[in-house]
Structure 1
Amino acid sequence: MRIETIYRYPVKGLTAEALEEVTLTPGETLPHDRRFALAQGDSPFDPTAPAWLPKRNFACLMVNARLAMAHSAFDARTGQLAIRLPGAPLFLGDTRTEEGRAAIAAHLAAFLGEEARGTPRFLEAPGHSFSDVAKKVVSIIGLSSLHALEQAAGATLDPLRFRANVYVSGAAPWAEFDLLGREILLGQARLRVIKRIVRCPATEVNPATGERDAEPPRWLRQHFGHPDLGVYAEVLEGGRISVGDALEVTDPAG
């Protein structure tokens, strides 16, 4: 298998950012992946004692499809978050200061309108990842599996609907499920595949239009008998991964 694309998602629910290469660290996500989130006003998340919470506590595409139209870009060197909303001028907010985070929260809350519950907070908790799962992981999708779903459903699906970190080519459909419990080399890093990814209504949202115009979870169940696409893997040994690198299995099948 070969790495075709690599993405990080600095703000939960906002824009994917493509990377040519990145260095993985043991026990961590991609650097800056799901580093920030907009916590809804009724969310009990405490940044001083961060603990994993279900995604409904935060602005997310599963509930807030219009987030797909909020185009963002994060500069890790300066801490600046740029957000461009439809019909609005470019907004710049400083993620490093309390005032900057409050301004970002207010900007996104105004865009969400009635979907913003209470007074949302734009949050970061150092060392915490606002991932959909409690364990820090890298998500991997085999493009052959996605193409099998497209063929069965008779629809074209943007891979970014599924918000994975790494998309790979060169394997049979669903071959990544055979990697469960096994160790792999991804570029220079070693990982263990730990879990299939169960797909939710976030994948119904077209990342280009913000419309719910597809039903991947239902199509997966209808055509393949499960709602899963892609796998999670934990990083065991760090190293650089780059577009074009190989994904290789390092241990024999059990």
Structure 2
Amino acid sequence: MIYLKRLQKMRIHSLYRYPVKGLTPERLAQATLSPGRCIPWDRAFALAQGDAKLDPEHPAWIPKSNFMCLAKNAKAAALRTSFDETTGTLTIAAPDGTRLTASPFTPEGRTELTSFLTAFLGEEARHGAEGQAPQFHYFPAHSFCDHKTQVVSLIGLGSLGALEAAVAAPRDARRFRANIYIDDIAPWAEFSWLGREIRIGAARLLVQERIDRCAATMVNPDTAEKDANPVKELQQNFGHVDLGIFAEVVTGGEIRPGDAITLA
């Protein structure tokens, strides 16, 4: 009975998108979900390293190591970015005060963004065997997400709280880069939803799998320093390295913080 009451109370605590793979989260007041798609503009842009196995003519999913990402480039957490849908521009600010606003939709803008990010990465900017340089990309309707299909990621704050209690230290939720954080949910309850649908307003999502965590979670989102090891902490305390779930949008609809989440 207690568990049923928790299910009735579950709500979206906060909602995020990550326009540039590996860079700043943007907190949202609402998002409109579409079947088979991620949250609009989530991981819509990315800097591919020069040795990336990416075919621009036929973009498909490839592992995060092909791109600028926190697992390989912790310093990228120090960049502050914002995407303006109205003007179609992306702004990036570096810790030294340098700043760029450019369009990720034009060749000229992508060239500027490539130069800015490559200069920031310095020696961490990789080149291909034939000298190919890193390149900033946008492909319409494509997402550079960590899943092979477009999904929405969710984390129960009860699970994050269980991790914090186990290590007796806070673990900033931003380390885990979820789209939806769920309030009023028992620890690890979301793991029991695999293969089931959840409802958020008119939207319905099919829960596909647990999210196994990587070295990106080591990076402090404020300092860009590796100051914790959540993967090791999860393994030592819970016998797995998972935190959160992936879900595919089956029926679209608008969602916002405060919306109730129920099992269909």
Aligned with 1:228 (options 212, 231, 242): 242
2:228 corresponds to: 214
Aligned with 1:137 (options 139, 146, 151): 151
Query: Structure 1 residue 75 and structure 2 residue 84: aligned?
Result: yes
Q: Quote the offset at 1:90 in angstroms.
A: 2.3
Q: Quote the offset at 1:89 in angstroms.
A: 2.9
1:85 corresponds to: 94
Matches within 5 A, 1:158-173: 158-173=172-187
Alpha-carbon distance in 1 for matches of 2:202, 2:257: 12
Residues 161-209 of structure 1: CA distance to partner in whole angstroms, max 9, x if unpaired?
Answer: 0000000011110000011100110232100100000000000000000
* Between 148-157 and 43-52, the greater mean CA deviation after superposition: 43-52
Does the 8 Å contact 1:188/1:238 carry over to 2?
yes
2:196 corresponds to: 182
Alpha-carbon distance in 1 for matches of 2:254, 2:202: 5
Alpha-carbon distance in 1 for matches of 2:263, 2:53: 41
Query: Structure 1 residue 6 and structure 2 residue 15: aligned?
Result: yes
TM-score, normalisation: structure 2: 0.93
TM-score, normalisation: structure 1: 0.97
Q: Quote the offset at 1:95 in angstroms.
A: 0.9
- Unaligned stretches of 5+ residues in structure 1: none
RMSD over aligned CA atoms reads 0.8
Matches within 5 A, 1:117-132: 117-118=126-127, 119-132=133-146
Between the aligned residues of both structures, percent identity stands at 54
Q: Quote the offset at 1:20 in angstroms.
A: 1.0
Alpha-carbon distance in 2 for matches of 1:242, 1:64: 32
Residues 82-122 of structure 1: CA distance to partner in whole angstroms, max 9, x if unpaired?
Answer: 01101123211111210110110110010001000022100
Alpha-carbon distance in 1 for matches of 2:66, 2:162: 33
Query: Structure 1 residue 62 and structure 2 residue 71: aligned?
Result: yes
Aligned with 2:45 (options 32, 36, 45): 36
Alpha-carbon distance in 1 for matches of 2:106, 2:185: 45
Alpha-carbon distance in 2 for matches of 1:32, 1:163: 14
Alignment: residue pair count: 250
